[in-house]
Amino acid sequence: MLETTHFIDIDDISESELDRVLSRAAAIKAGDDETRLPRTTMAMLFEKPSTRTRVSFETGMTQLGGHALFLGPEDIQLGHGEPLCDTARVLGRYGDVIMARLFDHEDLLEIAEYSTAPVINGLTDDAHPCQTLADLLTIREHVGSFEEVQAAWVGDGNNVGQSFVLGCAMAGIDLTVATPPEYAMDDEVMERAADLGQAPTVTTDPEEAIDGADVVYTDVWISMGQEDQRNEKLEAFDGFQLNEDLLDGSDAQVMHCLPAHRGEEITGDVLEGEQSLVWVQAENRLHAQKGLIVELLEE
């Protein structure tokens, strides 16, 4: 069982607990750990739609012997029809764990404050720690020991990137971040990474970032809710696309959390190419989250 009650940010757990979650996930994936959580219910709150988050959590709970209840925008009006604190109090009494995929990170913090059940961050505008668990599991499986891995983040300093920065710091991965200056990682996140002992190298040059990298990671430039910024972002990210020209001469394996906008942040050839880990990475959402749920709930 983890020391933390909730999993809101990747650094809510310690480095040793991170290793434990990843080891548990790997054992579950390999069929060496058959832990079950019968009669366990997860309430899944969705403000943002998602393929991987819903399917991986719902499938994971079923495979663990429990049940997941989907509550979408039409099923529950978070903070509108009822205060968030009241929703959290009730759901915490009905279920054993709450997973929430929201826009505002502060809303998730309020749910965690009032819920007596553990709360898992399925994504907010600030962080996506469950994705980082899957990312680290993928790197450990297919790239190598964390201390020997050189990684690069190329693109937007968004929620996925910020959680990845913290996860790499915790794991001891040598990370270089390449973003346009106006779309850099949040300063507070970089300070937290430094406090964890492994602040990333920062550049605005994608070629510099991927030089010598074992793995290169990108995500969409225009996230959900940012459609009105499309033209200015496409202009700002010129030269940051993961394509065959940028990766020419590099044997780095490629990661993307999906969904991908082919032809924008990544080309179809790279996404489908031999260096792509994207589909393994997507599968590992299921296994990493099962490892997390077991470690959170098992007594």
Does the annotation place 287 within a ligand binding site?
no
Annotated catalytic residue, options 6, 24, 54, 128:
128
Does the annotation place 145 within a ligand binding site?
no
Other CB atoms closer than 10 Å to residue 104's CB: what's the count? Answer: 15
User: How far apart (Å, rounded) are the C-alpha atoms in residues 84 and 67?
Assistant: 23
Annotated catalytic residue, options 214, 285, 287, 289:
285
Say whether 227 sits in a helix, a strand or coil. Answer: helix
Does the annotation place 101 within a ligand binding site?
yes
First to last CA, the chain: 6
Annotated catalytic residue, options 126, 131, 150, 287:
131
Does the annotation place 159 within a ligand binding site?
yes
Active site residue 168: no
Does the annotation place 59 within a ligand binding site?
no
Does the annotation place 140 within a ligand binding site?
no
Does the annotation place 51 within a ligand binding site?
yes
What Å distances lie between residue 228 and 131, 179, 218, 241, 286, CA to CA?
26, 20, 21, 20, 32
Q: Is 69 exposed, middle or buried (0-12, 13-18, 19+ CB in 10 A)?
A: middle
Annotated catalytic residue, options 6, 24, 101, 140:
101
Active site residue 128: yes
Active site residue 105: no
- Residue 62 CB-half CA count within 13 A: 9
User: How far apart (Å, rounded) are the C-alpha atoms in residues 113 and 103?
Assistant: 17
Does the annotation place 16 within a ligand binding site?
no
Active site residue 192: no
Annotated catalytic residue, options 11, 198, 219, 289:
219
Does the annotation place 63 within a ligand binding site?
no
Does the annotation place 135 within a ligand binding site?
no
Pairing of strands 97-101, 41-46: parallel
Does the annotation place 168 within a ligand binding site?
no
Does the annotation place 107 within a ligand binding site?
no
| Sheet containing 201-203, strands listed edge to edge, beginning at the edge strand earlier in sequence | 201-203, 174-178, 150-154, 215-218, 253-256
Does the annotation place 50 within a ligand binding site?
yes
Say whether 71 sits in a helix, a strand or coil. Answer: strand
Residue positions forming the annotated binding site for L-ornithine: 159, 219, 223-224
Catalytic residue numbers, as ranges: 101, 128, 131, 219, 257, 285
Residue positions forming the annotated binding site: 50-53, 77, 101, 128-131, 159, 219, 223-224, 257-258, 285
Residue positions forming the annotated binding site for carbamoyl phosphate: 50-53, 77, 101, 128-131, 257-258, 285
